[in-house]
Amino acid sequence: MTVTAVIGSQWGDEGKGKAVDFLAERMDYVARFNGGNNAGHTVINDFGTFKIHLVPSGIFAQNTTGLIGGGVVIDPQVLIDEIEMLNKAGVAVDGRLWVSPRSHLIMPYHKILDGLYEEAKGAGATGTTRRGIGPVFADKVSYNGIRWTDFTSDMFEQRLQVQLTLKNKIIVALGGEALKFEDVRDTYRGYYLKLKPYIRELFSLVQDGLKTEKNFLLEQAMGTFLDTDWGTYPFVTASTTIPAAASAGLGIPPKHITNVIGVTKAYTTRVGGGPLPTEIHDVESEVYKKFGEVAATTGRIRRVGWLDLEIVRTAVDLSGVTELCLTKLDVLSGLDEIQVCVGYQLNGKDIRYADVDAYGLDTVALVYKKFKGWQQDISKARSFDELPQEAKDYVSMIEEYAGAPVKWIGVGPERDATIRR
Ligand code: GDP
Ligand code: IMO
Ligand code: MG
């Protein structure tokens, strides 16, 4: 039995979807354990191009079973659409995708409240995906959530009544329109009936798997620095993103999570508000144009910056990363010079990321190293030896500062555009 967690070592969108897709082949179970459909994981393989929000990205491997753990929050319509999309693409998911009845549901009022909170914060807004993530997790931990299991008794209606009484008061006070109990009840009953064949307690499945030499691949959503506790609070997401969350979110004892793959983009991106120490602001610059990306979930433009190795090193320490998967190395091709942040200083002294809060990060001095770039297109390289010396040096430098070996290198978005070492 092996349990491998795949985590993003930056602010999300590191390329976890692609990594999970190519790692899934030798797995029995592929699982999501945190977050919700704020995630957007891109997978490009023989089945086509997909932006996946809830189903584990490893579902394309024929022998895998997909699990959506109780730590995940679910917008039922998004899950229904995703299942339909996968079935249409020839990825049969029936009988091999299971959703925990403990997972909490994103209700219409969560999405409305997410938007209202953001607007109230004005310039200080978090820049959420407006998928209702903050409000649904707030309800979860304040005992106000609604779960699939509530549909097996009259709990669903009882709990919905209470929540609508409370939530409608807030919505109306803030200028919104009250939700009707019957409408929400009927819509969500409909969702439940459609998704019922996929809902199943995962406890025995997972425990039996752990005892019978099965291989598990755990797919984190978001990144280390969007973690509620360790991220750049309050510019974070509402769930724990480090592998510790996989334990609670799936019911896997921490001692089993022995392999942790840190997916690291060769530069840095961030969507939404909050600090990005190495940010490149010059929108006309060559690097800005090269690094630019469109967010998979919201279609927003991602902010960009140079690689920040203090950030990656912190993620390695926090999550016990055993191996790194470096992505998007191909994007750096063609630059004359590449800059990398290798440390933070405050008042002339070396400090760690954790020594300052999110607002303090804007005031730290960044220690940069400059590297000579390479001009060759590396997207066809499939072995480390085929890379130009400058690219090899860049990879070695990452290993040295981050403190973990780079085992995979992405040289393109497709599944096979990967160097294995
Ligand atoms: P995730 O949320 O961590 O799964 O990452 P996203 O899918 O949101 O964003 C990563 C983007 O980079 C997607 O557009 C991927 O197709 C793309 N991508 C991943 N790995 C590579 C790579 O090695 N090279 C290139 N050029 N693109 C990549
Ligand atoms: P994947 O899994 C990048 C960011 C949002 C916002 C903050 C809070 O694709 O890497 P939320 O909607 O979660 O309340 O928003 O978190 N965010 C992500 N950024 N990738 C993601 O997921 C993200 N999920 C949330 O942009 O700044
Ligand atoms: Mg993404």
Write out pLDDT tens, residues 219-238: 999 999 999 999 999 999 99
- What pLDDT shows up at residue 276? 97
Given 3.40.190.170, 3.30.70.260, 3.90.170.10, 3.40.50.150, which CATH number is that of 265-420?
A: 3.90.170.10
**Looking at the predicted structure, is the pLDDT value of residue 321 above 90?**
yes
pTM score, whole prediction: 0.97
Residues in contact with ligand 2 (CB, 6 Å cut-off): 8, 12-13, 38-41, 126-129, 131, 133-134, 221-223, 226, 237-238, 271-272, 296
Q: What is the pLDDT of residues 250-281, one digit of tens each?
A: 999 999 999 999 999 999 999 999 999 999 99
41 catalytic? Reply is yes
Averaged over 134-153, what is the pLDDT?
Answer: 98
Place of tokens 């919700």: 36
Averaged over 334-362, what is the pLDDT?
Answer: 97
Q: Where in the chain is the domain with CATH 1.10.300.10?
A: 108-195
Is residue 330 within 8 A of residue 299, CB to CB? The reply is no
Backbone angles phi, psi at 395, to 5 degrees: -65, -45
**Looking at the predicted structure, is the pLDDT value of residue 297 above 90?**
no
Q: What is the pLDDT of residues 236-250, one digit of tens each?
A: 999 999 999 999 999
- What pLDDT shows up at residue 22? 97
In whole numbers, what is the pLDDT of the chain averaged over residues?
A: 97
CA of residue 226 to ligand 1 center, whole Å: 18
Averaged over 349-364, what is the pLDDT?
Answer: 96
Provide DSSP, 126-173.
Answer: ----SSSHHHHHHHHHTT---BGGGGGSTHHHHHHHHHHHHHHHHHHH
**Looking at the predicted structure, is the pLDDT value of residue 295 above 90?**
no
Query: What's the half-sphere exposure (Cβ side, CA atoms, 13 Å) at 53?
Result: 22
Q: Where in the chain is the domain with CATH 3.40.440.10?
A: 3-101+200-261
Q: What is the pLDDT of residues 43-62, one digit of tens each?
A: 999 999 999 999 999 999 99
Q: What percent of the chain has pLDDT over 90?
A: 95
Pick 144 or 295 by higher pLDDT. Answer: 144
Top CATH class of 3-101+200-261 equals alpha beta
- CA 411 to ligand 1: nearest atom: 23
Q: Which residues of 240-250 are buried (b: 16+ CB within 10 A; e: fewer)?
A: bbbbbbbbebb
- What pLDDT shows up at residue 67? 98
First CA to last CA distance, the chain: 23
**Looking at the predicted structure, is the pLDDT value of residue 296 above 90?**
no
Residue 48's DSSP bridge partners are: 45
Q: Where in the chain is the domain with CATH 3.90.170.10?
A: 265-420
In the three-class reduction of DSSP (H, G, I as helix; E, B as strand; rest coil), residue 385 is classed as helix
- Fold that domain 108-195 belongs to in CATH: Adenylosuccinate Synthetase, subunit A; domain 2 (1.10.300)
